[in-house]
């Protein structure tokens, strides 16, 4: 019979841990002095303890180990649990690899450019919403504000003319890529609460949801175009694929105080 300290030295498991396992009923002391409360272990309990450690090493929780050790598990069940654990380990492995890739990307990013406007990209899932939208062609880049503004006005007018109600926030969809500066294909989109009749210019449909890579800019409106390259780099670095038109969400926009405007750019992405 060994005192807990001896058993701890023998097994290389801390005393605290042995007591914890005893409390959980994993490795119950072979004998407990009913007067002093001292735990006494037998060397014959070593195999069980090592089995516990081996299972812990494989990634099982103490609760699962308790079931395996106490309710003598069959061979086939153990195989099933191991395969499940393998799947879990694969997921964690992939997570770690992705994290590594993100860190690497960030480090490369820092080394490439000394100035770090460095927008932070988040992955988010967005629900589908009902919208009214007006799609337009913009021949030259300097006409974007005027033409897009007119498209929004047109859409808002249409909504009100049919007794609809617009929701916040409005957004622009870009069907041409960010490096297109002539003949751009854009869409002024306004979320609405319920269905409306369409017109020749203003369409009503459900804007698809899904997974989006998103980044937010706060401050002068003109600068936020840097968001697009930042997002594209992130998508590239994290091996996603662009799965549709990008969105510029005008979370807060006040033409009189442009330094307070907040814009979110979203790219729909798929793994791959």
Q: In whole angstroms, how close is the CB of 215 to a copy of itself at the nearest point?
A: 7
Cis peptide before 92 (omega within 30 of 0): no
* Nearer CB in complex with a copy of itself: 82/208: 82
Q: Which two tokens stand for residue 10?
A: 């023998």
Q: Which residues bind DNA (CB under 7 A)?
A: 3-6, 8, 14-17, 19-20, 29, 33, 35-39, 56, 61-63
Q: In whole angstroms, how close is the CB of 28 to DNA at the nearest point?
A: 12
Q: In whole angstroms, how close is the CB of 29 to DNA at the nearest point?
A: 7
Q: In whole angstroms, how close is the CB of 223 to DNA at the nearest point?
A: 30
Our finding on whether 53 is near a copy of itself (CB under 8 A) is yes
SS3 of the chain:
CEEHHHHHHHHCCCHHHHHHHHHHCCCCCCEECCCCCCEEECHHHHHHHHHHHHHHHCCCCHHHHHHHHHCCCCHHHHHHHHHHHHHHHHHHHHHHHHHHHHHHHHHHHHHHCCCCCCCCCEEEEECCEEEEEEEEEEEEHHHHHHHHHHHHHHHHHHHHHCCCCECCCCEEEECCCCCCCEEEEEEEEEEECCCCCCCCCEEEEEECCEEEEEEEEECCHHHHHHHHHHHHHHHHHCCEEECCCEEEEEEECCCCCHHHCEEEEEEEEEEC
Distance (Å, whole) CA 248 – CA 11: 61
Q: In whole angstroms, how close is the CB of 264 to a copy of itself at the nearest point?
A: 7
* Nearer CB in complex with DNA: 99/241: 99
Q: In whole angstroms, how close is the CB of 144 to a copy of itself at the nearest point?
A: 22
Give the count of beta carbons closer than 10 Å to the beta carbon of residue 151. 23
* Nearer CB in complex with DNA: 163/272: 163
Q: In whole angstroms, how close is the CB of 4 to a copy of itself at the nearest point?
A: 16
* Nearer CB in complex with DNA: 29/190: 29
Enumerate residues 70-89 that contact a copy of itself by CB under 8 A. Answer: 75, 78-79, 82-83, 85-86, 89
Distance (Å, whole) CA 86 – CA 88: 5
Give the count of beta carbons closer than 10 Å to the beta carbon of residue 22. 16
Stretch that binds a copy of itself, among 49-57, 130-138, 178-186, 189-197 (CB under 8 A): 49-57
Show the binding pattern over residues 186-225: x = contacts a copy of itself (CB under 8 A), - = does not.
----------------------------xxxxx-------
Our finding on whether 264 is near a copy of itself (CB under 8 A) is yes
Name the site residues for a copy of itself (rule: CB under 8 A).
10, 12, 43-44, 46-47, 50-51, 53-55, 57-59, 75, 78-79, 82-83, 85-86, 89-90, 92-93, 96-97, 99-100, 102-104, 106-107, 110, 114, 116, 119-122, 124-125, 214-218, 251-252, 260, 262, 264
């Amino acid at each position: 019979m060994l005192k807990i300290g001896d058993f701890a030295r023998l097994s290389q498991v801390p005393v605290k841990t042995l007591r914890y396992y005893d409390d959980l009923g994993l490795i119950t002391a072979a004998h407990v002095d009913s007067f002093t409360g001292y735990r006494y272990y037998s060397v014959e309990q070593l195999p069980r303890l090592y089995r516990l450690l081996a299972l812990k090493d494989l990634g099982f929780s103490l609760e699962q180990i308790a079931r395996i050790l106490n309710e003598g598990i069959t061979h086939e069940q153990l195989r099933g649990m191991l395969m499940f654990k393998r799947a879990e380990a694969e997921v964690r492995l992939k997570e770690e690899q992705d994290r590594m890739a993100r860190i690497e990307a960030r480090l490369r990013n820092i080394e490439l450019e000394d100035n770090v406007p460095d927008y932070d990209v988040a992955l988010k899932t967005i629900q589908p919403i009902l919208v009214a939208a007006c799609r337009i062609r913009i021949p030259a880049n300097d006409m974007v504000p005027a033409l897009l503004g007119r498209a929004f006005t047109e859409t808002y007018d249409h909504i009100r003319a049919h007794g609809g109600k617009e929701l916040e926030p409005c957004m622009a969809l870009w069907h041409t890529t960010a490096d297109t500066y002539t003949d751009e294909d854009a869409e002024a989109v306004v979320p609405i609460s319920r269905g409306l009749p369409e017109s020749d210019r203003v369409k009503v449909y459900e804007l698809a949801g899904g997974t989006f890579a998103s980044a937010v800019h706060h401050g002068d409106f003109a600068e936020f175009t840097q968001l697009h390259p930042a997002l594209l780099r992130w998508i590239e670095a994290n091996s996603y694929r662009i799965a549709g038109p990008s969105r510029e969400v005008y979370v807060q926009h006040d033409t009189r105080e442009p330094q307070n405007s907040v814009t979110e750019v979203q790219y729909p992405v798929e793994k791959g």
